[in-house]
Structure 1
Amino acid sequence: MEVATLARRTLWTGGAVQERLRRLNLITTVPPLAVVGVLLLIFTARTWWHVVLQVVGLAAALVTAERWTAGDFFRVARPCVAITAVVWLAGALNDDSTSFYGLCIVVAFTIPPLPRHRLAALLGLSVMVAALGAPNLLVFDDNPGGRLLKFVVVPAVSVAVSTAFTFVSQRLYDLVAELEQSRDREAELAVVRERMRFASDLHDIQGHTLHVVKLKVALAEKLVDSDLERVKEELREVHTLVGDTIVQTKELAYAQRRLNLSAELENAKNLFEAAGIHVRVDREAEVDTHAGELLGQVLRETTTNILRHAQARQVRITLTASGITIVNDGAAEAGPPELNGLLTLKQRLADNGGELKVEQQDGRFLTAAEFPRREGGR
């Protein structure tokens, strides 16, 4: 549940990061474009008509840039291209070589987000920019070489260069967006893992308890006519076991459940003896708390599997400083049973640096969980 809460928080944070990224793009893109446009207006506009053209082109360019940072500029792209194209044509006819600035910016923001045919679009728009500036050579016949450079070559090249810079910025933005999407998927995966862990732990608690209750009730049925006191004792134990299971289920729901390896060892010993299985426990050393919880889960799952699937007469449990080994002699000859609970625990141990090994040979079934020893003997 804590992981689910963290996942929701991560998803919210991802949206907040996207908004911060948009604001950053807005701050780093729109003001510089506005400053350059204003400087061109101050230093190049010679008539009021030049001022009008440059202001209209700059406004269209800023609208496109602002919508680009929001990821919603396609609906304004075509109108802004048309407006700035008219501005550039009017500027060329009025001998204003800087009125192509707005069209250059709009084209630069329009091409990179296209899903395909970007190069063809860039070539086509560059040719359009050059064609819109060419009428200046027809209206003004002085210095044709210089006018060709100012109204045809420079605008077309400027469109290509500005588009390249915008494409790099777009790729960076896309990479950050993909990173945020990856974080969202990680959060969703964490929720799935938490649900699987919760289901596995719930299975451990409920499945183990129900099987033990089944054994004790069956034993009470056999003794009901011969040993009434023993029947009462078994029923009291069933009542206590069910109460403990309710408490453990609540602790699991509130993420407070902790397994005690010593208690699990004693519980396993009592269950095997109650089922008529001879059990031997060799406790060679102690393990740390975190490893003890995981080893307790392995022991509980293995105990349930032996009682349910095996016809064991002897069980040996060996606890070392680095792990636990459980061996029983009741393995079926038809092949190993499907032990889904142990497979889940195997992954959980692997995630915590441990290893779970399961072997069946000559009627013996071995389950061994081990953690690598650390320096200092821990």
Structure 2
Amino acid sequence: MSTPRIGETALARGVTATWWYTAVGVAFFVALTALFWILWAWAAPALDAPWRFPISIAGSLAWIAASILLLLDYRPSVLAARDGERHPPSTLTMTGFVLAALGAILLGLGTSSLLAAAAVVAFVLSVRPWTPGVRWRVVVGATLLVLVLVFVEASAFATQGIPVSAFSAPAFFVLMVPSMTAFSLWWWEIVLELDWARTAESQLAATRERLRLANDVHDLQGHHLQVIALQLELAERLLAKDPAAAAEQIRAAQGAVNEARAGTRALATSFRGVPLPDELENAADLLRAAGHDVRMHVGAGAASAPADVLGPIVRESVTNVLKHGDGARARIDLSRDGDTWVYRMVNDAADHGGGAGGVGGAEGGADVAWGSGLTGMGERLEVSGGKVEAWNDGTSFTVQVRLPVGHAPVAGTSDLPATTGEHA
């Protein structure tokens, strides 16, 4: 059995996937443009020299290889510039330049067209990581140059008896090369900026929340410590005159200490709390990032479900799927059945013996052994009157949790036994 690793499915999340979609799209457009020129060299009646066709193929392959190398170096260049670092041309870029020059020469000779060579040059200019102002000037200049060459060569080919209609398809794709390349890369950079903005926003929100927590802790502890200090000072003064009154003040100080501890625990619990619908969305995103095909159903009123009890259960069940599932599919369900909340995690069956086991027998499934994962779930649920079941029917493994709607509040959640597993 192979445990799914998030690093193996990095393309499933973030701007990394967006980048590869963009790069593949640009490379595909280059290949399509080169294909039109190969067909031109093969079909044009005035280009009947037998060596032109293989030369055109070689030039096209060189151009495609150059585009791949230049795109591979484009993303690190942009990321380095974003971090304020200088990214000098790498071996990939220099090799790409050499292949592009070779491709322009061979493609121009094979098609007997300066426009074909200009297409390669225009692409190289457009794929460079210019600053935004410089890039669009370069793109506009390259497009105007290509447009002039289109009219010049259309007239020249017409005098050779080659119809303009036969020349229109490769000319159109060459005309689109600079703008399409630049626009695709610009679109990816916009997505990158949005991702950076989202990250900065989340970091700022976390910082604000920490400051809020620090202020709340300061107010809470400062108030109680001041009261405790006054009570102990009064007890010290009363100790010789009235020991009973001094003892009363000491007991009051102890009560203030207990109130401070309870308040701090409640404050920490509220700070850690995440609404259950958000918890479920995070669980689904994590499983998708690990390569699972995730289906999720959240019933009406899920926002009122007890996040203090079910939140840790959701996290533990996701950990079990990541550690013990087959890594292909998962289904998350949360619904209300009368006076009971029912949470269910179903994933493709695998070896669940070491830490993902549970109580068998439900719905005709085969028994599975208790493991530390569901043991922790059971201990959490026992406090609130809930129960956990698990079964393996041979094709899927199911963990089901039933929790009464009017469950008893969980006191001191932080004191409960921690569940096993690493939560990403």
Question: Normalising by the residue count of structure 1, what TM-score does the alignment of the two structures yield?
Answer: 0.49
The structure whose Rg is larger is 1
